[in-house]
Amino acid sequence: MSSPAWNAGVKPDTPTLDLPDKVQNAQASYVRHHYVRSQLRDLSRRGDAVMRDTLTALMEDNIWLQAAEAKKLLKKKTEKLQVLLDKTWAHLNSRLQTADLTINFEASKWFTTPNNYDSYSQMYERAVRTVTAADGSTFTGFRITGDTLNPADVRAKADDAVTFSKGMLNRGKINSTFGTARVMSPGGLVQPAVDARDGEFEAVNPFFNPKSKQVFAALNYGRRPHGSITTYGQSYMVLNPKFKTNAIYFPGDTFMATKNLMSFNNQVSYDYLGAVYLHGQTMMKQNIVKSCLQDQELPDDCGVFDLLEAHLFEPLTFTGNLEALCVSIEGLDGTLLTAVQTNARAFGRKHGADVFFI
């Protein structure tokens, strides 16, 4: 049953974008907090079982037990084996938890001119614009386009598949006042009936709140020199570690959900990050062993099967929340190089982030 505060603040018959901006922000904050708190509680409840399954998978793969003594311990099931298992899990989890939480970007797009943004907005938020109706009147509407790396229709399907179980989507159906999915899911995307621009889609669900969606980041568990994944740029920002504990993690690019290689059931919490090995594809498993059990630094070759994606269900304002900016100047020269360096330094000073040129 929904709370009185929920029903008082969010009328079930009012499309979300028709609500005052203050109400939209409050609704998004409430829903995100409720969702992530519930998910982390459930993941924690299953944590010990997941840890045992992860260690069992490591033993079955026989990757980390190469020494003859360790193999003997496996057969004898001795107390020494339990000590070895405990140390293995502690080392694996610690290496993952202490990895930088990053977002990759292209320096030329961010810093050719002064960057005056105060927060990092996700693609759903950026899709809200003024729409012109057939009679010439205007209203605020949701019109999402995406880009080559993030096609809007694919992104929306993948996000629903990894964020919600089927039961959660049913509870949050658009004719219901209950369920986080009623606010957090667009309910599918269709081509707009009015004021349609090339490549645009609108949400089927009129109660969808674009502000409620997650921010996408990644853990640089391989300590790669140019961040977690250079597909999105050779530069990267390092986020304040406080964001790690309430994030939800996935062993791979969540676009894989559209190929049935990722789902809601692959969610991993910060406390049990080692479980990414249990859920990961072969390439990720191999690289986790190299970087988190053998302490190797990996090269910049991360792909969709190797990404450790992190979803942040809270606003990402820059001031106080950026540890560092690592700005790649490869391929930049002349006035462009000067502009990028000048504007990056100014951005770092404004928001309290250290700036490094790599």
Region 312-331 average pLDDT:
97
Residue 177 confidence (pLDDT): 66
CA atoms of 230 and 233, how far apart (whole Å): 5
Looking at the structure, tell me whether residues 281 and 344 fall in a common domain: yes
Q: Which of 166, 183, 212 is the last residue of a domain?
A: 212
Region 296-320 average pLDDT:
95
In a domain, 86, yes or no: no
Looking at the structure, tell me whether residues 172 and 220 fall in a common domain: no
Looking at the structure, tell me whether residues 345 and 226 fall in a common domain: yes
Domain enclosing residue 237, as ranges: 96-118+214-357
Task: Mention every residue, 6+ apart, whose C-beta is less than 8 A from residue 179.
Answer: 168, 171, 172, 173
CA atoms of 121 and 109, how far apart (whole Å): 15
Q: Which of 143-152, 207-216, 261-270, 333-342 has the lowest mean pLDDT?
A: 143-152
pLDDT digits (tens, 9 = 90+) for 44-89: 999 999 998 998 888 778 655 544 455 565 566 667 777 878 888 9
In a domain, 232, yes or no: yes
Looking at the structure, tell me whether residues 174 and 307 fall in a common domain: no
Q: What is the mean pLDDT of the chain?
A: 90
Closest C-alpha to 96, from 235, 191, 208, 220: 220
**Using 50, 70 and 90 to split pLDDT, how confident is the model at 95?**
very high
Q: Which of 196, 212, 228 is the last residue of a domain?
A: 212
CB 181 within 8 A of CB 205: no
The model's pTM:
0.90
Looking at the structure, tell me whether residues 139 and 266 fall in a common domain: no
* DSSP classification of residue 2: -
Looking at the structure of the chain, the number of domains it has is 2
Looking at the structure, tell me whether residues 156 and 206 fall in a common domain: yes
Task: Mention every residue, 6+ apart, whose C-beta is less than 8 A from residue 90.
Answer: none
199: left (phi over 0), alpha (psi -120 to 50) or beta: left
pLDDT digits (tens, 9 = 90+) for 282-303: 999 999 999 999 999 999 999 8
Region 148-152 average pLDDT:
86
